[in-house]
A and B are shown apart, each in its own frame.
Chain A
Amino acid sequence: MSAILPASKADPQADAPLPAARRDIAPLLLVPALMLVMLPLVGSFPTWLTLTVAGLAMGMMIFIMASGLTLVFGLMSVLNFGHGAFVAVGAFSATLVLLPMRGWLEMDSLLVNLGVLALAVTLAMVVTGLLGWAFERIIVKPVYGQHLKQILITMGGMIVAEQLIHVIWGAETIALPLPTALRGAILMGDAAVEKYRLVAVVVGLVVFIAMFLVLNRTKIGLLVRAGVENGEMVEALGYRIRRLFVAVFAAGSALAGLGGVMWGLYKETLTAAMGSEIMVMIFIVIIIGGLGSVGGCFIGALLMALVANYAGFLAPKIALVSSIILMISVLLWRPAGLYSNSRS
């Protein structure tokens, strides 16, 4: 924890560069270390490869869903218990495109398939982004700074959203078809790796890198990071942090929507209760990562998904509680999560 604090206090030499925060690399090594340790335990390389890719894919999707929440928490100290509802709404919105255009999805052309998917994802992200904006305005805005009320009211928002999904899309589960071009597996040596999982890994990496670049290389990112560190100071410098709040909230919701579409295609069935189920995973991930840290969230998501996949193969009974065991062990090591800003 102390590692991320600035190394020294006031620097007498004005020309000297600001002391950079020391890099804390131990958590970064966890994921590769876990993969390496599991290789001899799993025994056969092809099985290990399949498990690892499956874990990475799942982890990337969970990261996409969780990143928005952790960013919102870091910036505005709002823990949105209704975040899972955005995931579900995103997935269900995608059906508005995917189900009528089923014929296009069944064509054997990768381009057509991806085009339809892109349309569905765009719609889902627009819908969830707008919903997030409305959610912030109507539900969250009056209770800034009051954690108890925030928890209760966002829970209420989640209940209402879940019921509205039932009202609009009906109470039955919806089957979500995977596009033809993304079905099936690629053989890598002896290992079969499902195509869709590779796509998920790529999309997850793209989202992570994009987020990293936006947060670290743009002015908006600078403001967001500064807001996470000290919101009052950013406001005192003349930036309207309220607008930033809304924008980040909407962007986080849109990411949840994107994650929802991907998760829905992964599971291939949709239920309105998927929101509250995913909520649990998302919470575990952001607890492991450290509340408010995007990098921690990324590592946490990968760790959780990999552990779940390895445990499912090695000891199916333990797999049921593997995430809890992982969470407890991480918290014993670092009580505030892998990367925590000292405030939380």
Chain B
Amino acid sequence: MLHRLLSGDLPRSRILTGVLLAILAGLALAPFLFSGARPLNTAATICIYIVLVASYDLLLGYTGIVSFAHTMFYGIGAYGVGLALARVDEPTWGVVVTGLVLALMLALALALVVGLFALRVRAIFYAMITLAVASSFAVLASQLSDLTGGEDGVTFSVPEVLSPSFLLFENEVFGRYVDGKVITYYLVFAGCLLLFLFLLRLVNSPFGRVLQAIRENEFRAEALGYRTMVYRIWANCLAALVAALAGALMALWLRYVGPKTSLGFEVMTDILLIVVIGGMGTMYGAVIGATLFILAQNYLKELMAHGSTALEGVPLLAAALHPDRWMLWLGVLFILSIYFFPVGIVGKLRVRAWLARR
């Protein structure tokens, strides 16, 4: 059963299994384990980032495509749901679905066009073209303020079941009222779990094996008779659709869409960092990486603030430990990890477990 659920791709390392189970339990029980809005927000962000990063890993880690347009698709999903809900007086599920379907269609069309246009060329060329396309899309979204709310973005209301004023039960359940926020959290959690399992299924299917073959040696894969172009475009479209779904969940959770949270270049660099640090080409890397990253983003900053105040007298070091500079240390970690453990945390753990078994 478990074997089939995970598509035969088990963690293959005892430590990894333990950490993954801890993360799963933590995310599944987050509303009841922690109190307050911030931990729940952190947990939801982790869920969504896991899917977003895993879908990017389908491109980068499994197929060897470097794309900088992934946030564009993420943003399309978020804006699709957000703008649809902002347009109507009465937020219903029908509106959510309509917005989502429109967004998915746009994402698919764009992924096809970008893919057809640029996937014929080398990795470097594709990376540059997607960067250019994604950044003009972001400019468009922030400049067409009549449609998208510009830099400020749009806040909107969600269907009643998901709104914070909705209560499922009269009484507290395990010390917490099950309100719309908790329901939304479980919607996000379940959606992300399904999407993640889908991606796991995908990469362990024959299709996923072909993608890995393309990553390892495209020429050889082509010589075996696989039409690599078609596979690459499929990978591109699937990754785009999953990213758009993740964006839609993010919009429902935040009840807000704006260029900073969904289209910004920072989001793209976050995804890149997470994939590499977690481990390219391992779906579980996305889980570990996203969890570590979001926790660090939310809690490491406080630690750094302490360090910064402790080093007040030292001019540059205090500035380097300023909480806003946490990306500096992550960037250094990123470069070091490309050199010294290119397989990422998950790859490292698996290699260790494999060596121990021998």
Chain A residues packing against B (C-beta within 8 Å): 79, 81, 139, 142-143, 147-153, 155-157, 159-160, 163-164, 166-168, 170-171, 276-277, 279-280, 283-284, 286-287, 291, 317, 320-321, 323-324, 327-328, 331, 335, 344
CB distance from B53 to the nearest CB of A (A): 14
Q: Which residue of B lies closest to A150 (CB)?
A: B124
Are A167 and B135 touching (Cβ within 8 A)? Answer: no
Q: Are B124 and A155 in contact (CB under 8 A)?
A: no
Residues of A within 8 Å of B125, CB to CB, are 287, 291, 344
- B320 to chain A: which residues have CB within 8 Å? 167
B122: contacting residue among A139, A147, A171, A320, CB under 8 A: A147
Besides A159-B327, A159-B328, A163-B325, 17 more A-B contacts (Cβ < 8 Å) are: A147-B122, A148-B64, A152-B338, A153-B339, A155-B272, A156-B338, A157-B331, A159-B269, A160-B335, A163-B327, A170-B319, A280-B131, A283-B131, A321-B140, A327-B129, A331-B117, A335-B121
The answer for the CA separation of A290 and B324 in the assembled complex, in Å, is 39
Residues of B within 8 A of A277 (CB): 135
Interface members, chain B 323-350 (any A CB < 8 Å)? 324-325, 327-328, 330-332, 334-335, 338-339, 342
Residues on B with C-beta less than 8 A from A284 are 132
State in angstroms the CA–CA spacing of A320 and B64 once bound together: 31
From the candidates B128, B325, B335, name the one contacting A283 in the complex (CB within 8 A).
B128
User: In the complex, are the beta carbons of A151 and B66 less than 8 A apart?
Assistant: yes
Q: A residues within 8 A CB of B316?
A: 167-168
Q: B132 touching A156 by the CB < 8 A rule?
A: no
Closest to A73 in B: B124
Interface string of B271-299 (1 = CB under 8 A from A): 01100100000000000000000000000
A310–B265 alpha-carbon span in the complex (Å):
27
- Shortest B122–chain A CB gap in Å is 7
- The verdict on B303 contacting chain A, using a C-beta distance below 8 Å, is no
Which 8 residue pairs of A and B lie closest in terms of their CB atoms, listed nearest first? A163-B328, A159-B331, A160-B331, A156-B335, A156-B334, A283-B128, A280-B135, A167-B319
B109 contacts chain A at the CB level, 8 A cutoff: no
In the complex the two chains form, what is the Cα distance from A46 to B127 in whole Å?
Answer: 40
**Is residue B21 contacting chain A, with contact meaning CB distance below 8 A?**
no
Set of chain B residues within 8 Å of A171, measured between Cβ atoms: 324
Nearest-Cβ distance from residue A323 to partner chain B, whole angstroms: 7
Q: B308 to nearest A CB, angstroms?
A: 11
Assuming the contacts A147-B123, A148-B66, A167-B316, asked whether A320 and B276 have C-beta atoms less than 8 A apart, the reply is no
**Is B143 interfacial (CB-CB < 8 Å)?**
yes
Chain B 109-141 against A: per-residue CB contact (8 Å), 1 yes, 0 no?
Answer: 000000001000111110111011101100110
Residues A327 and B338 in contact, CB atoms below 8 Å apart: no
Give CA–CA (A148, B135) in the complex, Å. Answer: 21
In the bound complex, how far is the Cα of B132 from the Cα of A286, in angstroms? 12
Nearest CB of A to B218, in Å: 12
Measured in the bound complex, the distance between the Cα atoms of B342 and A304 in whole Å is: 38
Chain B residues in 8 Å Cβ range of A157: 331, 335
| B128 surroundings in chain A (CB, below 8 A) | 79, 283, 286-287
> Are the CB atoms of A153 and B335 closer together than 8 Å?
yes
Q: Considering the complex, give the chain B residue whose CB is closest to the CB of A280.
A: B135
B328 touches A164 (CB 8 A): yes
- Contact between chains at B325 and A167 (CB < 8 Å): yes
Query: Which residues does chain B contribute within 8 Å of A148, judged by CB atoms?
Result: 64, 66, 123
Query: Do the beta carbons of B135 and A160 come within 8 Å of each other?
Result: no
Inside 8 A of A280's CB, which chain B residues have their CB?
131-132, 135-136
Docked CA distance A167–B323 (Å): 11
Residues of B within 8 A of A317 (CB): 144
Partner of B338, one of A153, A166, A168, A170: A153
Q: Which residues of B contact A320 (CB under 8 A)?
A: 136, 139-140, 143
Q: How far is the CB of A161 from chain B (nearest CB, A)?
A: 9
Instruction: Check A279–B117 contact: CB distance below 8 A.
Output: no
Q: Which residues of B sit under 8 angstroms from A79, Cβ to Cβ?
A: 124, 127-128
Query: Which residues of B have CB within 8 Å of A143?
Result: 338
Judge whether B338 and A149 touch: CB under 8 Å: yes
In the bound complex, what is the Cα–Cα distance between A148 and B124 (angstroms)?
8
Q: How far is the CA of A166 from the CA of B323 in the complex (A)?
A: 12
Partner of B123, one of A151, A155, A167, A328: A151
**Complex CA–CA separation, A321 to B133 (angstroms):** 9
Known interface pairs A279-B131, A283-B128. Does A167 touch B338 (Cβ–Cβ under 8 Å)?
no
Q: Which of B128-166 contact A (CB under 8 A)?
A: 128-129, 131-133, 135-136, 139-140, 143-144
